Amino acid sequence: MKFPITFSVLLLWGGTTACDGQASTAAQRQARPASVARAGAPARPGSAASPYEVRGLLDPGINNMVAYAFKIPRGWQMHQSFQRAWNGAVPSNVIYIGLNSPDKHNSIEYLPEAGYHYVDGPQTRSMNQMAAQYGGMRDPGRLAPMPPVGYLKAVLLPQLAKTAGAQIRVTGEHTGPVENLGQGQQRATGYVDGVLPSGRKVRLAATLTSLTNNMNGEVYCSWTANTNVTQSDGDLAAIYAYNLAAQKSVVFNPAWQQQLQQLTNNGVQSNNAEAQKRMAIQKDLQDYRAKTYKEIAANRQASQDRQSEAFGDYIRGEAKYEDAATGQRVKVADGYSHVYSDRQGTTLSTNVPLDAGQVNWQELQRVETKNY
């Protein structure tokens, strides 16, 4: 029975992890030899003795251009999916490839690349602890780097069991040497062997590539996992050799690489422009908040000043009156029903109303405390 990993399930899983904001860029992804795929170039004349034939991966997002060519076992069937996940406007290749022998007893599957990031240090641990206390959301792309065999057991095996119902009994494992690529980069390989309930033999393999930097006591690591699944009802080692040969034979199309790089550069520029817009909006919001807080504080202080002045007037037995026509204000002794003013500014306080028009006096209005 064929290993029950469906194309849609694998693509969904790989595409989800590849969408992380800190995953590898498309330019990095396209250089991964594990991401080989499909198309249909026949073997060259005269090559009938070769156990391989050459195929090319078509990129439907760039006019079906051949992205790269590689060898597969002669006569094997192949299917591919080439999609892209987007971090804003920056693309990341999400590729799945399936190869099947004519008798359906052997198969090779290349799963979409998964990208992760991890930061560790005193400051980061403190921030993570604070976020946990306040119920912060977990970042699905945050994962500490680990050896390939550990990744296969901790991540891929449970994922396949959950999404594809694959119950694999582990029978062995192998860890390859770690390669130092320079400038903080490392590459490590390994595989896990197992058996399905049907008796079919399975080999899960992983190539992990990491980039690590140390800044101000904090360790920053971004890493990717390229995984593939080899299955056989017969000689698993021989089918796995086909797998390795396909990966080693990859030859990229420079014209496709150039267009992909241009697509990535355009995306980076677009993301930067959007980031500048968001920063400008954020600054306007901060300025508005600062202005509002300043006005609130000024109004509160002015209100307190008015209340203080009104209370002082009350203690001193004074009251503030205003000429409605000129807006001029004066303070007079409180306790009178009417206050008048003439053109020379002389005031008269009285409890007896005057005929102001006959004596050319203007009655003033008492100023309420809220209008002091």
pLDDT in tens, the chain (372 residues): 333 333 333 333 333 333 333 333 333 333 343 333 333 333 444 445 689 999 999 999 999 999 999 999 999 999 999 999 999 999 999 999 999 999 999 999 999 999 999 999 888 888 878 777 777 667 778 999 999 999 999 999 999 999 888 899 999 999 999 999 999 999 999 999 999 999 999 999 999 999 999 988 899 999 999 999 999 999 999 999 999 999 999 999 999 999 999 999 999 999 999 999 999 999 999 999 999 999 999 999 988 988 898 888 888 889 999 998 888 899 999 989 899 998 888 888 998 888 866 778 889 999 988 888
Helix (H) or strand (E) holding 10: helix 7-18
Residue 187 lies in a domain: yes
CA dihedral of 300, 304, 306, 312, whole degrees rounded to 10 = 180
Which of these three, 252, 272, 293, is where a domain ends? 252
Residue 322 lies in a domain: yes
339 and 196 within one domain: no
48 and 148 within one domain: yes
- Determine the pLDDT at residue 366: 92
pLDDT in tens, 98-138: 999 999 999 999 999 999 999 998 888 888 787 777 776 67
Report CA torsion sign: 293, 296, 299, 300: negative
Structural domain for 139, as ranges: 7-252
Residue 338 lies in a domain: yes
Which of these three, 214, 235, 252, is where a domain ends? 252
The answer to whether the beta carbons of residues 69 and 54 sit under 8 Å apart is yes
139 and 240 within one domain: yes
Q: Which residues does 166 contact at the CB level (< 8 Å), separation at least 6?
A: 3, 4, 5, 160, 196
Give the count of domains, the chain. 2
Residue 113 lies in a domain: yes
Q: Which among 356, 361, 367 has a CA at the least distance from the CA of 318?
A: 367
Residue 282 lies in a domain: no
Residue 223 lies in a domain: yes
Residue 259 lies in a domain: no
* Other beta carbons less than 10 A from residue 152's beta carbon: 25
Which of these three, 231, 252, 273, is where a domain ends? 252
Give the Cα separation of 162 and 4 in Å (integer): 12
- Determine the pLDDT at residue 22: 34
Q: What is the pTM of this model?
A: 0.66
Which phi and psi angles does 221 have, rounded to 5°? -135, 130
* Other beta carbons less than 10 A from residue 99's beta carbon: 26
Query: In the numeric block, which tokens belong to residue 141?
Result: 């792309």
Give the Cα separation of 288 and 193 in Å (integer): 62
Give the Cα separation of 74 and 245 in Å (integer): 12
337 and 237 within one domain: no
Helix axes 157-164, 7-18, angle to 10 degrees: 130
244 and 357 within one domain: no
324 and 185 within one domain: no
